[in-house]
Amino acid sequence: MMSRLERELQSELLNLHRKWGPVGNHAHYFKRMLVCRNPKYVRGPIGTVRYLLSFDLPSPGFPRLIEAGQRDWTVEALLCNPKWHSLLTPAGIERAKTRAAQI
């Protein structure tokens, strides 16, 4: 069962996903991690952001958003908001801030 804050994060992530399509970032796997009915794929909002932040490099869609001038549409930019910090590890927060600062 998700907390209210987790549901809000999921809603914000899905809002980002809806914005990405027109700039060529369809991110089907991202959406599947959030809402797929198959437990093999779904990670939920916290699992999804932790997964994305676990890599040394940003996801392949990240550069598309930057090139389109939509820096604020990145997951990393969203996670810089202190509202979400209680859901993340200190390392995850730092990684999100570092990536957001590089854009």
For the stretch 57-72, pLDDT in tens is 888 888 889 899 999 9
- Alpha carbon distance 28, 21 (integer Å): 10
Matching residue, tokens 């060529």: 24
- Number of structural domains, the chain? 1
Sorting pLDDT into bands at 50, 70 and 90, what band is 103? low
pTM of the model: 0.93
Q: How many percent of the chain have pLDDT more than 70?
A: 99
- Alpha carbon distance 70, 76 (integer Å): 12
* pLDDT tens, residue by residue, 50-59: 999 999 988 8
- Alpha carbon distance 72, 70 (integer Å): 5
Which stretches of 1-103 are assigned E, i.e. beta strand?
Answer: none
Residue 19 is predicted with a pLDDT of 96
Question: In terms of residue numbers, what domain contains 83?
Answer: 4-102
Matching residue, tokens 């209210």: 4
